[in-house]
Structure 1
Amino acid sequence: MNSPSPSIQIDVNTRFLPDQSTPEQNRYAFAYTITITNKGRAPAQLVSRHWLITHGNGKIDEVRGPGVVGETPRLMPGEAFEYTSGAILEAPVGTMEGSYQMVTDEGDQFDAPIKRFVLSMPRVLH
């Protein structure tokens, strides 16, 4: 196995969705836009995802599934894939973290870690 080591960069932008939230029912909706960039020298395909979603009240949801938003993008070196998805929390603040399971054209599998990011209703965190 002498393929170049894969390097996947993951950038996240989040926003609170007040029109889809009902705080009196402990329902806080957030959108997150993720950009996945192949910084390596070999193609890589995203095949599945694993998320840990931590609500501000301590509850943790674990999510696993194929692809993202119904797609399994194959990224050539230098290519990026962007998608937007959402999460519903039971508290006005929480975090998400996880990984994408990737595979190279040679069949080598690896995880691309997604660093913890914060979902927060405006003016909750100072």
Structure 2
Amino acid sequence: MVTAITQGIKISVETMYQDEYSNPANEQFMFAYRIEIENLSDFTIQLLRRQWFIFDSCGTIKEVEGDGVVGVQPVLEPGQVHAYVSGCQITTDVGSMKGNYAMIRVATGSPFTVDIPEFALIAPFRLN
């Protein structure tokens, strides 16, 4: 698991290769990732947007942006945690992802950015 803390917001990421949804012969490698967002700050926060950078081992970089995460813009009181699972497909058996969340402090509307730490996407057969 990879973890980072930015401005009191802890982001933890765990990845899982999805063998049943991958097709290596056609250069399709599917990965799921579970993200846990923990509010360690003294402020109520809301996640508004996400931005991802997805890398494969051929040097391809794909950028993905959008509102919220899996259809929600969660509000987290101090001490609360929001977890979700999502996924991505790349064309190589090794890659990585990193990104950021655009958030606000609810009481003031003050925007801030939280880093999503870079994490590896590695098909298990590459580890042998």
TM-score bracket, normalised by the shorter chain, equals: over 0.9
Q: What is the CA–CA distance in structure 2 between the aligned matches of 1:9 and 1:71, rounded to whole Å?
A: 18
In structure 2, give the amino acid aligned to 1:107: G
Q: Gaps spanning 5+ residues in structure 1: where?
A: none
Task: Please show how residues 7-46 of structure 1 align to structure 2 within 5 Å.
Answer: 7-46=8-47
In structure 2, give the amino acid aligned to 1:65: G
Q: Which residue of 1 aligns with 2:66?
A: 65
Q: What is the CA–CA distance in structure 2 between the aligned matches of 1:56 and 1:87, rounded to whole Å?
A: 15
Give TM-score scaled by structure 2 length: 0.92
- Local SS of the residue matching 1:19: helix
**Contact 1:40–1:77 at 8 Å: present in 2 too?**
yes
- Local SS of the residue matching 2:25: helix
Deviation at 1:7, TM superposition (A): 1.2
| Superposed structure 1 runs of 4+ greater than 4 Å apart | none
**Contact 1:52–1:96 at 8 Å: present in 2 too?**
yes
In structure 2, give the amino acid aligned to 1:77: P
- Local SS of the residue matching 1:71: coil
Deviation at 1:6, TM superposition (A): 4.3
Q: What is the CA–CA distance in structure 1 between the aligned matches of 2:36 and 2:26, rounded to whole Å?
A: 32
In structure 2, give the amino acid aligned to 1:102: M
**Contact 1:6–1:41 at 8 Å: present in 2 too?**
no
Q: Which residue of 2 aligns with 1:76?
A: 77
In structure 1, give the amino acid aligned to 2:112: F
The yes-or-no answer on 1:109 pairing with 2:115 is: no
Q: What is the CA–CA distance in structure 2 between the aligned matches of 1:77 and 1:22, rounded to whole Å?
A: 42
In structure 2, give the amino acid aligned to 1:11: S
Q: What is the CA–CA distance in structure 2 between the aligned matches of 1:124 and 1:56, rounded to whole Å?
A: 12
Deviation at 1:123, TM superposition (A): 3.0
Q: What is the CA–CA distance in structure 2 between the aligned matches of 1:113 and 1:54, rounded to whole Å?
A: 17
**RMSD (Å) for aligned C-alpha atoms:** 1.2
Deviation at 1:56, TM superposition (A): 1.3
In structure 2, give the amino acid aligned to 1:58: G
Aligned residues: 122
Give TM-score scaled by structure 1 length: 0.94
**Contact 1:46–1:101 at 8 Å: present in 2 too?**
yes
